[in-house]
Each structure stands twice: as C-alpha cells, then as structure tokens.
Amino acid sequence: MDVKTVCLGMLTDGDASGYDLKKHFESSFGHFFAAGYGSIYPALASLAADGLVSCECIPQDGKPDRKVYSITPAGRDVLLAELDKPNPSHKIRSEFLATICFAHLMSADQVATVLRNRIAEIEAYEKLFDEFEQTCMHETPHGMHFTVGIGRAVMLAMKKYIQENGHELQHRSATVVNF
Amino acid sequence: MDVKTVCLGMLTDGDASGYDLKKHFESSFGHFFAAGYGSIYPALASLAADGLVSCECIPQDGKPDRKVYSITPAGRDVLLAELDKPNPSHKIRSEFLATICFAHLMSADQVATVLRNRIAEIEAYEKLFDEFEQTCMHETPHGMHFTVGIGRAVMLAMKKYIQENGHELQHRSATVVNF
DNA sequence: TGCCCATATATCGGGGTGATGTATAGTATC
DNA sequence: GATACTATACATCACCCCGATATATGGGCA
C-alpha cells in the first residue's frame, strides 16, 4: 500500500486530477498518510503507464491543461488485491519523541516549549476533525468516520499523557511550566 | 532530526558500532523511529566525514572489523542545536488506516482480519513495553520512560477504539466477528 | 501597484526502506 | 553427524518518498 494504491482508492470515488488528489491527501488523509506533489504526480504517471488509470487532458486558457484521471478495471483489480493484504503497517516517525528521549541534554524551558507546541498541534488537528465531521460527514463512507475516530482517540490520549506527565520531564531547572 | 542526529544522541550514552545502534533502534526506538542498516551505515559514514564522530577500527578474527564510533565535541554541538528546534514533527504513515478507508470495497471477513491483526500487533508492543520496563528501566534516562508511557497510552487508545467501534465497519456480510 | 492566494502542472536532490550479499561461528533440531 | 537457524558485523542498491522550487495566470484586497 503505497501512494499509488491510495490514489487508486481515491479514484474509486470519482475522477480527479493530481491537484484534486493533493487536496484530498491534505484534508481527510493528512493525519495518517500525507503525500505531496513530488509523490502524487509520479504515482499517477506510473499508474497510467501500467494501464491502471486512464487520463483525459482538458485544455484550459491560461492555466495548464487539467489532466483528469479515471480508474480502469485493471486498476480496480490491483486495488482489491492490495486491500486483501491481511497485515497493513502502521508506522510512526516521531522527531518529537526522539527529541524527548534526550530531554536530559536540554533545558527545562526547551522541553516545555516542545511539549507546548506538540499540544498546540494536537488541538489544531482536533479542530480539523470537528470541521470535517460537520461538513462532509454524511457523504463519506463508513471507513472514513472510523479513521477520524481513531485519530481523535489517539491524539486525545497523547495530549492527556503529556499534560499529566510532562512536568516530570522538567528537572534541570526549577521553572515549572503549566500546559 | 534525521537518522544521523538520532545516532549522535545514542552515542552520548557511550561508544557503539553500527550493529549496536541497530539493536538500539529496534528495541527502545522501534515504536516511533525505526531505522535499518540502509540508513545507519551511511549515516555513520557521513557523520565521520563531517568530523561529528570519530571511528576506531577493532580487528576481529573471522568476523569483519568492529567499527566503534564516538561522538566528538563538534558532534555534541550539532546535536544540541538540533534539540533546540521548538517544533519537532510527529508523523504517522498508516497503511492500516488507508486500508480501512476503503472498507466498503472489502468483505466483512477481510475487514475483521485486518482489525484482528492490528490488535495483535498492539498487544505484542504492550508486552515489549512491559519487558523494557522490567529490565532496563532504572538505567535509562527520564525521557525514555516518557516515550514508553506515550507509546502505551496511544496504543491502548487505538485498541479500545477498535474494540468498541470495529463492528460498525462490518456491514457488507452478516458475519459479525468478535475481537 | 504590489502582494498573496488559488489553480495546475512538473522536476530534483537528498534521504529513507527493505532486500540482498559476504563472512564466520555457535547452537538447536532431526 | 548433517542441516538449519541465529548472532555477529560489515556494506550496497534499487526503489520510493519528501520538501523545495519552478512555471504560468487570474482574482481579490489594501
């Protein structure tokens, strides 16, 4: 399950351009599977070369051509085969936790700043989830709700843990900061 | 904060070879910052070329030379500068959630299998955390405890959410599976 | 007028992943 | 005693992905 496969999956919901898919990756997939143009455009080109998607170029004045992609029956087969894999990965790459590992090499202020910023980021995600549920909750499939729910639960747990245990990390200086 | 920086950080805890660092990445860092030989060896070579670590080759009979690395004062400076960054990232790359997004294209059995396997993986991590706390809890710095605690909290939250909401995902077939 | 934002494509360097290769020696299993 | 697996220990390579940057234009806004 790479960017190519996720693009295929998104295209089962209707034809779209690379630009459209990027917005999808940002909004609904952003919190667990981010992708930028540097991944999406090569992915679509490769899928088209393999006949898993078809491409229709729509000329526009001024702007570059819109390239609208549709999934083909072969593409659908590849997608379903990928969805059949029983053990899809779930990986975390956290510079945040890596930093915290070396908290004993940092000042209490530095640690406090890192923790505060992490909480702020979590709260930004929480707002994003709220907006998502208020706007496009009805039209999206069941699976999407589930991912939002997991996202919420996981971020809430992390926030709570930081708030309850963050102070123990600040031992180098006497300054204790509230979150 | 890339693999190079994390290697520097690990070397503040004592000299080590690439092989040693790999074991470190697997055990204590595995759940939030995995790295393989393909990242570690080039990272150490690059650090040595920049004078941030020094390398001592220890010949062994039969096996290849052991290359033991030590952090240099310049390396320590680079590490401390990296730890000063106020907003370290925390990214998730989840083929699991990407798969679940397309649950409406899967059979109830397929969905159940994916959820069951995810829970099994979480429980494997929970055991790993238990072992870690029983063996090397006393010698590791405070930050390490914190990362284990967050790992526990986050995984518990995900497990609970799956157990409480997983059944809603199975609507295509009548077969309801318990977790 | 200047500036940012949205639309829309694409590329490129640097970095990371997973698999594989090369050796040797000890330890299980059968 | 043969086979297979595991551990030690290095290294490389193809492929994939990320972030930044480039190119082009029209609309809103101060």
Question: Which amino acid residue lies closest to nucleotide C10, measuring CA to C1'?
Answer: A41
Gap between the Cα atoms of A13 and A132, Å rounded: 17
The fold of the B3-83 domain, in CATH, is: Arc Repressor Mutant, subunit A (1.10.10)
Single out the residue of B158, B163, B144 nearest to residue B92, CA to CA. B158
Gap between the Cα atoms of B30 and B21, Å rounded: 12
What average pLDDT does the segment B32-57 reach?
A: 94
Q: Is the CB of A101 less than 8 angstroms away from the CB of B9?
A: yes
**What is the nearest nucleotide to B62, using C1' and CA?**
C24
Q: What is the pLDDT of residue B174?
A: 41
What average pLDDT does the segment B18-33 reach?
A: 93
Q: Is the CB of B105 less than 8 angstroms away from the CB of A83?
A: yes
Gap between the Cα atoms of B22 and B30, Å rounded: 10
Cβ B39 to strand C below 7 Å: yes
Contact residues for strand D with beta carbon within 7 Å: A 2-4, 34-39, 42-43, 46, 61-64; B 17-20, 23, 37-38, 41-42, 44-45, 60, 63-68, 89, 93
**Least CB–CB distance from B32: residue in A31, A97, A143:** A97
pLDDT in tens, B130-173: 888 887 767 788 889 999 999 999 999 999 999 999 988 876 54
pLDDT in tens, B7-24: 999 999 999 999 999 999
Strand partners, A56: A68
B/e letters for B75-108, b = 16+ CB within 10 Å, e = fewer, are: beebbeebbebeebebebbbbbbbbbbbbebbeb
**What is the nearest nucleotide to B61, using C1' and CA?**
C24
Gap between the Cα atoms of B153 and B117, Å rounded: 19
* Contact residues for B63 (Cβ-Cβ < 8 A; gap 6+): none
**Residue in chain B lying closest to A153 (CA):** B157
Q: What angle do CA B78, B84, B89 make, to 5 degrees?
A: 105
The one-letter amino acid code at A124 reads A
- The three state secondary structure string of chain B is CCHHHHHHHHHCCCCECHHHHHHHHHHCCCCCCCCCHHHHHHHHHHHHHCCCEEEEEECCCCCCCEEEEEECHHHHHHHHHHHCCCCCCEEEEEHHHHHHHCHHHCCHHHHHHHHHHHHHHHHHHHHHHHHHHHHCCCCCCHHHHHHHHHHHHHHHHHHHHHHHHHHHHCCCCCCCCCC
**Residue in chain A lying closest to B154 (CA):** A154
Gap between the Cα atoms of A147 and B99, Å rounded: 10
Gap between the Cα atoms of A167 and B39, Å rounded: 34
CA of A147 to C1' of D30 (A): 42
Cβ A45 to strand C below 7 Å: yes
Among the residue ranges A57-71, A96-110, B45-59, B111-125, the one predicted with the least confidence is A57-71
Cβ B34 to strand C below 7 Å: yes
CA of A110 to C1' of C3 (A): 36
Strand partners, B56: B68
Q: What is the pLDDT of residue B62?
A: 62
pLDDT in tens, chain A (179 residues): 999 999 999 999 999 999 999 999 998 999 999 999 999 999 999 999 999 999 998 877 666 678 999 999 999 999 999 999 999 999 999 999 999 999 999 999 999 999 999 999 999 999 989 888 887 777 788 889 999 999 999 999 999 999 999 988 876 544 555 56
pLDDT in tens, B73-91: 999 999 999 999 999 999 9
If you compute the radius of gyration of chain B from its CA atoms, what whole number of angstroms results? 21
Q: What angle do CA A162, A164, A165 make, to 5 degrees?
A: 65
Per-residue confidence at B65, pLDDT binned at 50, 70, 90? confident
What average pLDDT does the segment B97-117 reach?
A: 94
The Cβ of residue A64 has, within 10 Å, a number of other Cβ atoms equal to: 9
**Residue in chain A lying closest to B35 (CA):** A93
User: Mapping DSSP to helix (H, G, I), strand (E, B) and coil, where does residue A171 land?
Assistant: coil
Q: What is the pLDDT of residue A174?
A: 41
Question: Which nucleotides of chain C have an atom under 7 angstroms from any protein CB?
Answer: 7-13, 15-25
Strand partners, B75: none
DSSP state of A65: P
Helices B37-49, B3-11: inter-axial angle, 10-degree rounding: 70
Q: Is the CB of B143 less than 8 angstroms away from the CB of A103?
A: yes
Res. B94: pLDDT tops 70: yes
The structural domains of chain A, with segments of one domain joined by +, span 3-83, 95-169
